[in-house]
Amino acid sequence: MATYAIGDVQGCYTAFRKLLDVVHFDLKHDKLWLVGDIVNRGPESLEMLRFVMQSDDAITMVLGNHDLHLLMVGAGITPHHKDDTIQSILNAPDREELLFWLRHQRLFYFKEKYALVHAGLLPAWSVTKAARLAQEVESALRRDDYQKIFTQLYGNEPTYWLDNWTGAERLRVIINAMTRMRICSPDGHMNFSYKGSLQTVPAGYMPWFDVPQRASLDSIIICGHWSALGLYITDKLVALDSGCIWNGQLSAIRLEDRKVFQIHCDKSIMTGC
């Protein structure tokens, strides 16, 4: 049995299945961790979502910002973006089953020395604390009145964490850190506008994972979200968004020996990505 982690698929199901073939993934014996953003931008979001939903316990995923966007659009809270490719899900006969299942997925997951999150963790959050905070959001998303909660979750403020935040502000900071953050100040103020490379990070900010003595350093964080960063692996970080949707690569890592597998996401294996 092996455990693989794969970066942002974003609806590129054909490329995803090609990568599973490359690693000889066996649904009955292996495990797969997905860093989120399994849908949107690529042409096969419906196929991707159905595959993950039907894979029982073989696949563990965390929610990314595009997955949450699908839920918001499906709930009628926010309109489509011009480059969305989620209409096939919204038109599907099993739409409600798919959205219900997605709404019940994790925001954060950890096992032994590894932690899985879409974007990142604020400097003050240990992995144990992050797990507790994620459960607050997960519980809110699963409530019967989730549509009311959705109306309060979008926005960039607050940009920092306080333990005494309550209500929508508290949930919004947790979601934004775990699904949108790339950089922050040393004291944990997030910047959501920057999407560039490591070399051009604005003054006063740094990659969230480079903040000195961040509380999550006792674990290896597996994440995605930052395509301009590309595949980026250190002792304490495995960043897997290598820009498949932008004709880059789709990347996987086998956790047992940290062997990396990649495929090029060109038109020969992707129908429109």
Tell me how far apart the alpha carbons of residues 99 and 113 are, in angstroms, rounded to a whole number. Answer: 31
- What is the length of the chain? 273
The whole-model pTM stands at 0.96
Tens-binned pLDDT, residue by residue, of the chain (273 aa): 999 999 999 999 999 999 999 999 999 999 999 999 999 999 999 999 999 999 989 999 999 999 999 999 999 999 999 999 999 999 999 999 999 999 999 999 999 999 999 999 999 999 999 999 999 999 999 999 998 888 988 899 999 999 999 999 999 999 999 999 999 999 999 999 999 999 999 999 999 999 999 999 999 999 999 999 999 999 999 999 999 999 999 999 999 999 999 999 976 555 545
**Which residues are 233's β-sheet partners?**
238
Query: Residues 6 or more apart from 180 whose CB is under 8 A from it?
Result: 65, 119, 190, 192, 225
Task: Answer whether 45's CB lies under 8 Å from 88's CB.
Answer: yes
Give, as one character, the DSSP assignment of residue 141. H
Mind listing the domains of the chain with CATH numbers? 3-264 (3.60.21.10)
Q: Residue 243: how many CB atoms within 10 A of its CB? A: 20
Tell me how far apart the alpha carbons of residues 205 and 185 are, in angstroms, rounded to a whole number. Answer: 4
